[in-house]
Amino acid sequence: MADDKLRQELYYIAKLTTKYDFKDMSVVEEILRQENERKLLTSVFGTRFKTRIFDIASDVKHEDTCVICGKPAENGVACAACLKSILESKYAKNKNEIEQTGRFNLKKLFDNKLFRRVKSFFSSLSSKSKNSHEIPEKVDTVESSETTKWYKSIRAKHVFQYSCIVCLTLILFIQIYILGVWLSLPTYNKKEPVRKSQYEATSLADENQALKELQKEFSEEDGYTITYSRQDREYVGRFLIDIGDCCEEVEEELSPEERYEYFFQEDVYVFYITNISDYSAVIGKAEVNANGSIILTGSFNDGRKTDCLYRFR
């Protein structure tokens, strides 16, 4: 479910970025208002997108980098490469197809050949009934009245029967359509165990050595793209917890004495990792310290919170 939620947010970000001009403040303000009401963007990339839109609305100086991969973005929000990868993915094509075919058009319904045939059938039935209801003038008045009532009751029964047939047919078509949409939905992977590195931590001298260590874990042959972002500061304690543990969960359980040593900071190298294909989207961030330990955030494991950090190596 976490991967599908992330794909939904990336698709939503890409649609907004390609559809609207963020130089128009009315557009930016409307996006922020909608997000405050609906709370659609909750992942690390959704939060980054909201922050960038808020900076634009507040006229705060910000880096013109892609909120997804960290590369330069002409529109100041998302680069063309990420937008193309997302909008040409199988997930986006399925969403577009469902949006197009899922719209109910009343005019098309009445223009349908089946509807025209049913209408023609009822018209012919009505004309035949009128002709068959003609009664000779010389027939007795009481007999004429009873005969007319009988014919009207028969006609009402026929109209009711055919109306039921049409309604049941429409209901059947709607059920078949819903079944088709349900069968076209992507299947979700089962929750997988926490991903852990098979390599030992190795001391690093610069970001190039850190990149090589990450490439051992996320190779180009497997479709991964690693982009160096910056050198930053991170809590020392996050690189000392057990491999596979979630940093945020561990921090909630720390005692005051443990917090004193945990929250010192050290220099780290920050990288963005992406692997977007027609069937999946793996996007996240890696932080590597000088000892070669690694912490990750993103959709690297099914069933994990994509906006939380966990120790990988």
How far is 130 from 140, CA to CA, in rounded Å? 20
Angle, helices 90-101/141-184, rounded to nearest 10 degrees: 170
| pLDDT values of the chain reduced to their tens digit, one per residue, 313 residues | 567 778 888 888 888 888 887 777 888 888 888 777 777 788 888 888 888 888 887 877 777 888 888 888 887 788 888 888 888 888 877 877 776 665 545 455 445 555 565 566 556 655 555 555 444 444 445 455 656 665 666 677 777 788 888 899 999 999 998 888 777 765 544 556 778 888 888 888 899 999 998 888 888 888 889 899 899 988 988 998 898 888 888 888 888 878 877 888 889 999 998 888 877 788 889 999 999 899 998 887 665 677 888 898 8
Amino acid at 3: D
Q: Is 90 helix (H, G, I), strand (E, B) or coil?
A: helix
Report the predicted TM-score, pTM, of the whole model to 2 decimal places. 0.40
Would you list the domain boundaries of the chain?
1-100, 195-311
How far is 259 from 266, CA to CA, in rounded Å? 15
